[in-house]
Amino acid sequence: MNRRSFIYFVTRSLAVSCLSGLVPISVWSKTAFDFALEGQNLIQRGKYAEAVAVLTKAAKLNPESDWTYGLLGRSYHGLGKRREAVDAFRNAVRLNPEDVYSRMMIEILTQTPLPKVTKQKEDTLTSLELSAREEETRMRQHFDRGKDLSYKLNRVVIDPGHGGFDPGAIGHSGLKEKDVTLDIATNLNQRLMQHGTIKSFLTRRGDYYVPLSDRTAIANQFKADLFLSIHINASTNKKASGSEIFYCSSTASNKEAARVAAFENAVLKFDEPFKKQAGYIDIEEILFRFEQKLYWQESSRFAGTFQEKFLSSLPLKNRGISSANFFVLRRAKMPSILLELGFISHRTDERRLMQPEFRDEIANAIFRSLA
């Protein structure tokens, strides 16, 4: 049973119990899902040893749950047991090949040699151990990127900020952020498509508005390995210039990051709110809340690696890496970053951004940082 089957099972069970009101939950015997959910709660409280104990029970009750093995991997990782963590994550990927997070953790944990174990002869290996060995070979091929990025990028969703009735920031000469971001994003998309090693998708291809929540949903639907949102900054401080990389966090890393996030989130008033039916239990949301900060942590690491390459050949001031609660990044189920490529309110930056050659140079710098 995979995670979505779990979700269906528990939602149905909760619905039946609510309708009947006859059988107290306390008299039920614990299911694999009960143990897995308990393990998840223990992980959140930092009780990794206890989490391993209950998640091991969950895995015995239901050995086909990729979600359980993913949680087990996180528990072992919290205890510093890398080999056990890798084994658990490999089981998660075996059961669900589209588990991007587990694949990512396997790569991170195997970048340095794992502790040596006594070798076994081929004829003494179990079928599961043989499958794990085959999976290890496939993993090494999938993540063969030397020391560049921590995992291989197969799919990237590029988000040109703003659009349609939302122009974004506007410069002294009337240059609109929405036009610059679309031009850079389209250029980058074409480069990636021509290169052929990374599949690339755009959240918009013309001058129209896409709600912030839909932009992230597109990245999730395409099962992207990276969500890249492109923007141009602006400030009342006319001297502010340069490029900055942001990733998502629950609180802003500084006042300037909070200001940028507030500006980018301001368009939320135009988004149609999603209304849930009364009594609706969103189990998927419960699971995502646990995973969310892990995606944010990996976004932070990715931003650092990306920045080293990106700004090396551009005449833009390096404003560093910051974080804040950007709505467009908040729901991404993969590492995600937001690029502020210069200040449209700064006359020199704006003059450069008006030039097609400079926008082409930016797209090429992003491309080289990814490919």
184-241 tens-digit pLDDT: 999 999 999 998 889 999 999 999 999 988 899 899 889 899 999 999 999 999 999 9
pLDDT of residue 356 exceeding 80? yes
Strand, coil or helix: what is 22? coil
Per residue in 120-157, pLDDT (tens digit) is: 555 566 665 566 566 555 555 544 444 444 457 899 99
Q: Which domains does the chain have, with CATH numbers?
A: 3-142 (1.25.40.10), 155-370 (3.40.630.40)
CA-to-CA dists, residue 346 to 166, 185, 243, 361, angstroms: 20, 21, 12, 19
Per residue in 297-352, pLDDT (tens digit) is: 888 888 888 888 887 778 888 999 999 889 889 888 889 999 999 999 999 999 99
- What pLDDT, on a 0 to 100 scale, did the predictor assign at position 149? 47
* Residue of 353, 333, 337 lying closest to 345 (CA atoms): 353
* Residue of 231, 233, 227, 268 lying closest to 370 (CA atoms): 227
What's the rounded mean pLDDT across residues 293-300? 84
Compute the distance between CA of residue 257 and CA of residue 319 in angstroms, rounded to an integer. 11
Per residue in 41-56, pLDDT (tens digit) is: 898 888 999 999 999 9
Question: Token pair of 199, please?
Answer: 């599949």
Which residues, listed in sequence order, are joined to residue 204 by a DSSP beta bridge? Answer: none
- What pLDDT, on a 0 to 100 scale, did the predictor assign at position 226? 94
What's the rounded mean pLDDT across residues 263-291? 60
Strand, coil or helix: what is 196? coil
- What pLDDT, on a 0 to 100 scale, did the predictor assign at position 30? 80
What's the rounded mean pLDDT across residues 256-263? 85
- What pLDDT, on a 0 to 100 scale, did the predictor assign at position 44? 80
Per residue in 215-224, pLDDT (tens digit) is: 998 998 898 9
**pTM for the whole thing?**
0.58
* Residue of 177, 203, 202, 180 lying closest to 191 (CA atoms): 202
Mean pLDDT of the chain: 80
Q: In the β-sheet with 155-160, what is the strand arrangement from edge to edge? A: 199-202, 155-160, 226-233, 336-343, 243-248, 318-324
Q: Are 335 and 302 in contact (CB under 8 A)?
A: yes
